Every structure is written in C-alpha cells, then in structure tokens.
Structure 1
C-alpha cells in the first residue's frame, strides 16, 4: 500500500511540475500579447491623432482656398463691371 501511494505521489508530483511549466509558458505568452496589444493601442492613438491633425489642416486649407476663390471671383466681377462702365 505504501509503495502504491508513493508511486501515486510521484506521478502527481510529475504532473504538477508539467502543469506548472505549462502555466509559466502561458503566462509568458500572455505577457507578450499584453505588451503587443499596448503597443498597438499606442500606435493606433498616434495614427488617430495624426489623422485628426491632418483633417484640421485640410479643413483650414479648403477654407483658405474657398476664401481666395471668392476674392478672385469678386475681383473679376468688379473688373467686368468697371470695363462695362468704361465702354458705356
């Protein structure tokens, strides 16, 4: 009976060691995945911030281009009116 119990203890000890090693590998893999996720989230945040900055710049440029176009159109209209008055 004693030797049977010792054999069982030995088998369970071996099983515990294998399980502990497996757990350690899984924890290391999880740590690596957590780091990768954190890096990806940080990169995503930077991309999002850069995209918003670019969008703001483009909106400003479009606004400036629209104002310049309006000024140019107004200037051309005034020239046409002035030319029309000279020819009358």
Structure 2
C-alpha cells in the first residue's frame, strides 16, 4: 500500500505542477490579451482621429477646387473679353489709319489750277 500511496503522492505532485504551469500560461496569455486590447483601443482612436482629419482635408480640398474652378472661369472670360477689345482696337486703328490716309491724300494733292 505504501507503493500506492507513493504513486498517488507522485501523481498529486505532478498534477499540482501541471495545474501551476497551466495557470502560469493562462496568466501570460491574459497579460498578452490585455496588451493587445490596449493596442486595439489606441489603433481605434488613431483611426477615428485620422478619419476626422481625412474628412476635414476632403472638405477643404472641395472648397479650394471649387474656388480654383471659379478662377479658371473668370480668367477664361476675362481673356476672351480682352481679345475682343484687342480686335476692336486693331479694327479702330485700321479705320483711323485709312481715314488719315484718305484725308492726307486729299490735302497733299495739288489743287486744280484756277481758270
């Protein structure tokens, strides 16, 4: 019976040792879970913060692109109007030159002799 008692005591000792190892592994795993949950929380906060920043940048970009399009339209319209002014100025210059030549041609021709 002492052999059975010794075996039982050995089994008991090994069982306690196994339970302690399991508890130790569980505690380590629990520590890792807590660390990863903290990392997850930080990442979720970062994602939320970055999402908010992205929304603000998108809104700002949208406003700036609309303003740039307005500038483009104003520039295009102004250039077109300026080209019309240039064309009108050139036409006016040509008319004035032609009139000046016509007027100048009449006054530089000698007057017909008097009879």
Please say whether Structure 1 and Structure 2 have the same fold, judged by a TM-score greater than 0.5.
yes
- The aligned length equals 77
Instruction: Give the CA deviation at 1:75.
Output: 1.3
Structure of larger gyration radius: 2
5+ long unaligned stretches in structure 1? 83-88
Q: What do residues 27-84 of structure 1 show as CA deviations (whole Å, max 9, x unaligned)?
A: 000000000000010011000000000000000000010111123xx116x23xx6xx
Output the aligned Cα RMSD.
1.2
Please state which structure has a larger fraction of its residues in helix. Answer: 1
Provide the rounded CA distance (Å) in 2 between the counterparts of 1:75 and 1:38: 54
2:94 alignment partner, SS class: helix
Runs of 4+ in 1 over 4 A off after TM superposition: none
Instruction: Give the CA deviation at 1:2.
Output: 1.0
- Correspondence for 2:103 among 45, 49, 65: 65
Structure 2 length-normalised TM: 0.64
Task: Write the mapping of 1:16-27 to structure 2, written as runs, cut at 5 A.
Answer: 16-27=54-65
Partner of 1:75: 111
